[in-house]
Amino acid sequence: MPRYAECPVFPDIADFALTFLFELPVRIGESGHPAAFRLESIHRAIEPDDESDSRFPAYDALVEPVRSYLDDVTNGGPGRGGRPLIFLAQPEKIEDDRRRLTLHCPAQWRYRSEGRTMEMTSACGGAKTIALRYRDAFCLFESGRLFYCFSMFPEADGSGKGVDEYTLIAMQRLAAAKPDQQVVKGWRFALDGESPVSLTDMATARLAMLAADDSATHNGLRRYLQRALGLKPPFEVGPRAVRNLLISIEDERLLGIASFSDALQEDFALTDEAREAAAELAARRAACLAGAQPHYPAENPDELLPFLALSGVLQSVVDFPFQDPAELYDSTRPAIRGESFFNYAHPRYHIEISEDSRSMHDARLALGNCPYLTLMWLVAVHDELMVTEIEEAIDVLIYGNDEAELIAEPLRPLAQAVRAITLPWRSPIRELRRNLEARFDLFRRYSINQSSHLFRYEKEREALAAVEAGMGNRDRYERAHRMIDRIEGLVEDMHAVNGAYNSARTGRMVMFITLLGLINFYDQLTSGLVSIFRMELLGQAAFVLLLIVLLLLSFPSEVTAFPRRVWQGATRLLRPRDRMG
Tell me how far apart the alpha carbons of residues 224 and 97 are, in angstroms, rounded to a whole number.
21
Is residue 43 very low, low, confident or very high in pLDDT (cuts 50, 70, 90)?
very high
For residue 320, CA distances in Å to 169, 241, 304, 576 come to: 11, 28, 11, 58
Rounded (10°) CA dihedral 565, 570, 576, 578: 40
What pLDDT score does 232 carry? 82
pLDDT digits (tens, 9 = 90+) for 102-114: 999 998 888 887 7
pLDDT at 507 over 90: no
pLDDT at 303 over 70: yes
Please choose, from the candidates 303, 372, 375, 389, the residue with its C-alpha nearest in 3D space to the C-alpha of residue 338.
372
The answer to whether the predicted template modeling score (pTM) of the entire model surpasses 0.85 is no
Tell me how far apart the alpha carbons of residues 512 and 505 are, in angstroms, rounded to a whole number.
10
**β-pair type (15-24, 242-250):** antiparallel
pLDDT digits (tens, 9 = 90+) for 536-546: 555 566 666 76
What pLDDT score does 557 carry? 62
Mean pLDDT of 4-25: 89
The distance from CA 497 to its chain's CA centroid, rounded to whole angstroms, is 38
Tell me how far apart the alpha carbons of residues 579 and 574 are, in angstroms, rounded to a whole number.
15
In the chain, pLDDT over 90 holds for what percent of residues?
Answer: 34
Q: Are 224 and 87 in contact (CB under 8 A)?
A: yes
pLDDT digits (tens, 9 = 90+) for 513-535: 766 666 666 566 566 655 655 55
The residue with greater pLDDT, 246 or 479, is 246
For residue 290, CA distances in Å to 109, 284, 537 come to: 20, 10, 114
Burial of 315 (0-12, 13-18, 19+ CB in 10 A): middle
What pLDDT score does 578 carry? 47
At a CB cut-off of 8 Å and minimum separation 6, what does 455 contact? 73, 74, 75, 461, 464
**β-pair type (85-88, 128-140):** antiparallel
pLDDT digits (tens, 9 = 90+) for 387-406: 888 888 888 888 877 777 78
pLDDT at 580 over 50: no
Mean pLDDT of 151-167: 80
Tell me how far apart the alpha carbons of residues 138 and 210 are, in angstroms, rounded to a whole number.
12
Spell out the alpha helix ranges (H) of 240-304.
Answer: 252-263, 272-289
What pLDDT score does 158 carry? 55
What pLDDT score does 572 carry? 66
pLDDT digits (tens, 9 = 90+) for 259-281: 988 888 766 777 778 888 887 77
CA-based torsion, 528, 529, 532, 535: positive or negative? negative
Burial string for 498-528 (b: 16+ CB within 10 Å, else e) reads beebeeebeebeeeeeeeeeeeeeeeeebee
**β-pair type (3-6, 116-122):** parallel
Tell me how far apart the alpha carbons of residues 84 and 80 are, in angstroms, rounded to a whole number.
8
Which range, of 120-134, 192-206, 372-386, averages the lowest pLDDT? 120-134
Mean pLDDT score of the chain: 82
